[in-house]
Structure 1
Amino acid sequence: MEMMGMEIERILENPFNTAIVIISVSSMVFIILLGKSFVNRGVKMSVSSDVPSVPRVPGLPLLGNLLQLKEKKPYKTFTKWSEVYGPIYSIQLGSSHLIVLNNSNVAKEAMVTRFSSISTRKLSNALTILTYDKCMVATSDYNEFHKTVKKYIMTYLLGSNAQKRNRNIRETMLENVVCCFNAHIKHNPLQAVNFRKIFESELFGLALKQAIGRDVQSLYVEELGTTLTRNEIFHILVLDMMEGAIEVDWRDFFPYLKWVPNNKVEANIRKLDFRRFAVMKTLIKEHKKQNEGKKEMNSYLDFLLSEVNTMTENQLAMLLWEPIIESSDTTLISTEWALFELAKDPARQDRLYQEIQTVCGSDRITEDHLSQLPYLSAVFHETLRKHSPVPIIPIRYVHEDTQIGGYNIPAGTEIIVNLYGCNRDSNQWENSEEWIPERFLDNRYDPHDIYKTMAFGAGKRICAGALQAMLISCTSIGRLVQEFEWRLEAGQEEDIDTVGLTTHKLHPLHAILRTRCQL
């Protein structure tokens, strides 16, 4: 059996080449899978016969539509299928039956109206390990644990009162970014600046200050037997985790074949998990030692330690790690793409600059000015629409028969919300492939509504960090356009490739900066 597992693992270097695995396993597995298929058909028959079933994308026996998604950008394939099969259709991925939602109306119906029927998360093998089996606000089921930990994070970090309390951290971060860009212009005026290298580092510093009360330049981790630099800590806590989260394990699509080993993939995920926990536990241990006897709360960790008495060490580490990775990554994506689009479009960049000048004059833009800058808001929301930081909302499991978009959705189905497709629906968005901020100046959009594009989700599972993301990204975009003129390095106009399953820009933004004026 071990030799067979090693051979299958060798063949499956391409995780979607699952056909070879099916041929290799015993006939008994075929019977089980086929039996599962007949059971599913029986479940479908149990719902109302007066309501039509969801249109189905044709696929192969047993494999379903797996091989049609091998290009590693499934959200693009889902969007193309919506043009043929409509905004809601079903696909088969191995033994998993999924409903794909591709416009805002059916997505909102699922996430708001039918929420009670589909509030359970379905995670991949990699995410199950990396989230400590849903021990995160973003990935947990909607239960008492979720409600409790969401209350924690909103109270101290992400709610409106917490945002006011932490404003000085955000302002310091932005000043550091501006100083770095000014230093670059002074010493290398003709050389393009790597936006991501600077902004990403400062975002990570902000995340650490909010989480543990201080930035960290180095850390000795006993379990790893080494002293880590700040950059190595960032890789372990953020970059490695993002890579691991999109790791594809073919067994996710065939639960009945979990007995077939896939040691290479799982060993890599567990290694990333071990390193992450080793760093988090060391940060917590050092914090406790440095703050022993102190009663004031200067960080989210202080708040958690004062509120939580029953959580395990691993659960505490997960709750602390979640805002670090989420603050360090998703805000970067929207800010980098916005500046890319502005650098690519001098006319719209000048329009934004003129709006800022009219409102702020000789004053530096701050969060207090945001409500007076409708075009800046439009730039932000149009960037979220075209470059949503999360193109696909994590799968949810339907635990009772329901209906969405006028179709029967039987229990046992899984739901995928394709935000990429929702934000390119030609019935809602004219010229959807183009970046046109002016569309959000239309009177039909409430200027104070930060959920125009579904980028932050909807309903009870709406993104907890939406307000902070908007404050950081909008203020950063405004300030960087106010102080610098942005132009793309030659040849970057069409550099729009993304990383794997994400919309993270594959290559960092390199821009030529010119100081506008001294404020």
Structure 2
Amino acid sequence: MEGMWIYLIALLVVLLILYFWRQQQSCRNYPPGPLSLPFIGGLWRIGFGYREDTLIKIAKQYGNIYTIWVANFPVVVLSGFHVVKEGLVNHLEELSDRPLTPFFRDLGRTKGVAFSNGHLWKQQRRFGLFTMRKLGLGKKDMESQIEAEAQQLVEIFASEKGQPFDPSMAIINSVSNVICAVTFGQRFSLEDENFKKLIEGLDLGLKFIGSFSHALYEVIPWLMKHLPGPHKQALGISDMLFSLAKKKIEQHKEDTSYHEPQDFIDFYLLQMEKSKNDPNTTYDEDNLAQCIHDFFIAGSETTATTLKWAILLLTNHPDIQDKVHKEIEDVLVSSSICYQDLKKLPYTNAVFHEIQRSKYILLVGFARQSTKDMNLRGFCIPKGTIVIPDVRSVLFDPVQWETPEEFNPNHFLDKEGNFVAREEFLPFGAGVRVCLGEQLARMEFFIFLVTLLRAFCFQLPPGVKELNEEPEAGLTPPLHPYKVCAVPRCSSS
């Protein structure tokens, strides 16, 4: 019996050696990176205590193009401004696909805009861009809707009467209502229990992405689908959002309002009718529901998180807050706010850009997948390889930014105090997969924050010396919960 155990152990050791040797042979075809171990690949280098600067540190060791093996799957990471730009801009076609791993395939149903590829993605994205313009992005009607939501937020903040409160739920509700107006022409109240459940679920779902449970789902989906856990909750919220979209589509069809389109659903239903005889059309109700699903996930939490960071940073830096408020009061005469006003506010513009740079809302940029074999700076990246553009490494590149780790609006100002647009400012990505809602997000951020700063001076609660600026873990690293005092300004009374 003892001899049998020795034999089995020896056989296992030999198999592990063969497995390791084979894996090392595979690694030779990819850019260098951390040693790939059996079963876990190069994940040992990242560890369980993943930090924002983990990938940046790996790049310092292996170069700006390196490979991290996730079990048996190679993931090529692009780091630093020049390499990320070259990959996303100079290789548009090769890096146009989104990798559909098991979880994201279930989340996105391979439909819509965010989680689709090929002809379907191109048609849905082209229609999305066209319709966003039709709905008035950059025009006064859309700005008026955002301004109305911003005023609702002012009323909620004012009800706190300058006492410490957590602004998070009110902000996510107001931002989400902008998406509601764009997609199906309706807003929800803060007291709506179903809407509150949906928003809270989206927050939990985003925290799940990038977690250990998420990694398990990607590696052993056949088992995880039968086990309880946070993955069930994340996919359940996705199903709930998809069902809500389906319900709104049916209501629009019954009203037949889409012949005079007012929102995204109207325009889409009208396009479905026009394309019903086209054999190559991808316009159908499932794709429409998934597009709405994608808009909510991409457009609610991200903009809301940026606004929460803005309030936190301006509260911690009252001198910068005062300077922004003074510029707004000196320059803006009208009580109504127009996005074009941002051009008249160089310091405010610089502060807004620096908030988005210094508190980039993702751990890394969204992953791509190579559609064909490609060569990048002498490295061969085979077809089907997952490629991650580390946008954080661009926004914190010490070669490009004077003080990358600090909140410093001077990064976007010249010596005369004029605003300077920076090519290295890529919070919305680059290339053909650049954020579809970039213009809407910029407009929301500006109108919401200017409206709030006109109405309130944000201050630390009594006894609090500073709000925590360290993010928590997650795909969209959330802030630690905080409370702030929104003290009404005399001019707003």
Q: Taking structure 2 as the reference length, what is the TM-score of the superposition?
A: 0.84
The aligned residue for residue 160 of structure 2 is 184
Amino acid at match of 2:433: R
Deviation at 1:483, TM superposition (A): 2.2
Q: How does 1:299-338 map to 2 (within 5 A)?
A: 299-308=263-272, 309=276, 311-338=283-310
CA–CA distance in 2 between the matches of 1:442 and 1:372?
A: 15
**Residue number in structure 2 paired with 1:286:** 251
Q: Following the alignment from structure 1 to structure 2, what is the Cα–Cα distance between the partners of residues 461 and 294?
A: 29
State the 1:373 CA deviation.
Answer: 0.7
Deviation at 1:469, TM superposition (A): 0.9
User: Which of 118, 122, 128 matches 1:147?
Assistant: 122
Q: 1:216 to 1:356 in 2, by over 3 A?
A: closer
CA contact (8 A) 2:76 2:386 kept: yes
Taking structure 1 as reference, are residues 355 and 217 closer, same or farther at Cα in structure 2, changes over 3 Å only? closer
Aligned to 2:471: 498
Q: Is the 8 A contact 1:376 1:474 kept in 2?
A: no
Asked if 1:297 is matched to 2:261, the reply is yes
**Distance in 2 between residues matched to 1:343 and 1:126, nearest whole Å:** 38
Query: After the TM superposition, which of the residue ranges 386-395 and 30-39 deviates more from structure 2?
Result: 30-39
The more displaced of 73-82 and 357-366 is 357-366
Q: State the one-letter code of the partner of 2:68.
A: I
2:183 equivalent in structure 1: 211
Q: 1:30 to 1:279 in 2, by over 3 A?
A: farther
The answer to whether the 8 Å contact 1:122/1:394 transfers is no
- Given that residues 327 and 347 in structure 2 are in contact (C-alpha distance below 8 angstroms), is that contact kept between their aligned partners in structure 1? yes
Match of 2:314 in 1: 342
Q: 1:184 aligns to what SS in structure 2? A: coil
The answer as to whether partners of 1:127 and 1:245 remain within 8 angstroms in 2 is: no
- Indicate if the aligned counterparts of 1:73 and 1:501 stay in contact, CA closer than 8 A: no
- CA distance, structure 1, for counterparts of residue 265 and residue 302 of structure 2: 22
Question: Where does residue 23 of structure 2 map in the other structure?
Answer: 37
Indicate the residue corresponding to 2:328 in structure 1. 356
1:253-302 deviations in whole A, cap 9, x for unaligned? 65xx666556325644543343333332223223333x236631121111
Output the CA distance in 2 between the equivalents of 1:361 and 1:250.
52
> Counterpart in 2 of 1:511?
484
Choose from 434, 439, 449 the match for 2:406. 434
1:77 Cα deviation after fit: 1.1
Cα separation, 2, equivalents of 1:301 and 1:427: 45
Q: Distance in 2 between matches of 1:118 and 1:206?
A: 31
Q: Deviations over 1:447-488 (max 9, x none)?
A: 585864211111222111111111111222222222211112
> For structure 2, which runs of at least 5 residues remain unmatched after alignment?
1-8, 277-281
* Superimposed CA distance per residue, residues 204-243 of structure 1 (whole angstroms, 9 cap, x where no aligned partner): 2221121111124599xxxxxxx9533124335x335424
* Displacement of 1:136: 3.1
Letter in 2 for 1:175: Q
Letter in 2 for 1:274: D
Do 1:100 and 1:418's aligned partners in 2 also have CA atoms closer than 8 Å?
Answer: yes
Q: Counterpart amino acid of 1:230?
A: F
Q: Deviations over 1:156-197 (max 9, x none)?
A: 225794441422211111111122222322xxx3x2132222
Against the structure 1 CA distance between its residues 455 and 158, is the aligned structure 2 distance closer, same or farther, given a 3 Å change threshold? Answer: farther
Corresponding residue number in structure 2 for 1:229? 194
Cα distance in 2 for residues equivalent to 1:446 and 1:124: 45
Task: Please point out which of 369, 372, 382 is paired with 1:397.
Answer: 369
Amino acid aligned to 1:373:
L
Local SS of the residue matching 1:92: strand
Instruction: Please state whether the residue corresponding to 1:506 is helix, strand or coil.
Output: coil
Question: 2:126 and 2:136 mapped to 1: Cα distance?
Answer: 13
The Cα of 1:318 is off from its aligned counterpart by 0.5
1:372 matches 2:344 = yes
Q: Does 1:130 align with 2:107?
A: yes
Change (3 A) 1:210 1:350: same
Q: Tell me how far apart the structure 2 counterparts of residues 500 and 75 of structure 1 sit (CA, whole Å).
A: 8
The verdict on how the C-alpha distance between 1:73 and 1:464 changes in structure 2, with shifts beyond 3 A counting, is same
Letter in 1 for 2:60: E
Offset from partner CA, 1:381-428 (integer Å, 9 cap, x none): 111111112231222223433222443334443211112222112111
| SS at 2:491 equivalent | coil
In the TM superposition, what whole-angstrom CA distance separates every residue of 1:84-139 from its partner, at most 9, and x where no partner exists? 33322222221111221221110011101122222222133221111112x23233
SS at match of 1:57: coil
Counterpart Cα distance in 1 of 2:210 and 2:58 = 22
The answer for the alignment partner of 2:56 in structure 1 is: 79
Given candidates 380, 384, 389, the residue that maps to 2:356 is 384
Structure 1, unpaired ranges of 5+: 1-22, 45-52, 220-226
Q: Bigger shift: 487-496 or 111-120?
A: 487-496
Distance in 2 (CA, whole Å) between partners of 1:362 and 1:162 is 21
| 2:204–2:234 Cα contact (<8 Å) kept | no
Q: Take 1:445 and 1:288, find their aligned partners in 2: how far apart are those partners?
A: 53
The answer on whether the counterparts of 2:347 and 2:419 sit within 8 Å (CA) in structure 1 is no
> Secondary structure at 1:80's aligned position in 2?
helix
Distance 1:41 1:210 in 2: 47
Match of 2:3 in 1: none
Match of 1:63 in 2: 40
Contact preservation (8 Å) 2:413, 2:420: no
The letter for the 1-side match of 2:450 is: G
With the length of structure 1 as denominator, give the TM-score of the two structures. Answer: 0.80
* Bigger Cα displacement from structure 2, 442-451 vs 339-348: 442-451
- Paired position in structure 2 for 1:263: 226
Change in Cα spacing, 1:111 to 1:178, as seen in structure 2 (3 Å) is same
The answer to whether 1:117 aligns with 2:94 is: yes
Instruction: Quote the Cα distance in structure 2 between the aligned partners of 1:429 and 1:503.
Output: 23
Percent identical residues: 23
Please, what is the CA RMSD of the aligned residues? 3.3
Whether 1:471 and 2:443 are equivalent positions in the alignment is yes
AA paired with 1:234? I
In structure 2, what residue type is equivalent to 1:367?
Y
Distance 1:260 1:177 in 2: 44
The secondary structure found in structure 2 opposite 1:324 is helix
- Say whether the 8 Å CA contact 1:395–1:414 is kept in structure 2: yes
Q: Which amino acid aligns with 2:306?
A: S
In structure 2, the residue matched to 1:98 is 75
Alignment partners' CA distance in 1, 2:287 and 2:294 = 11
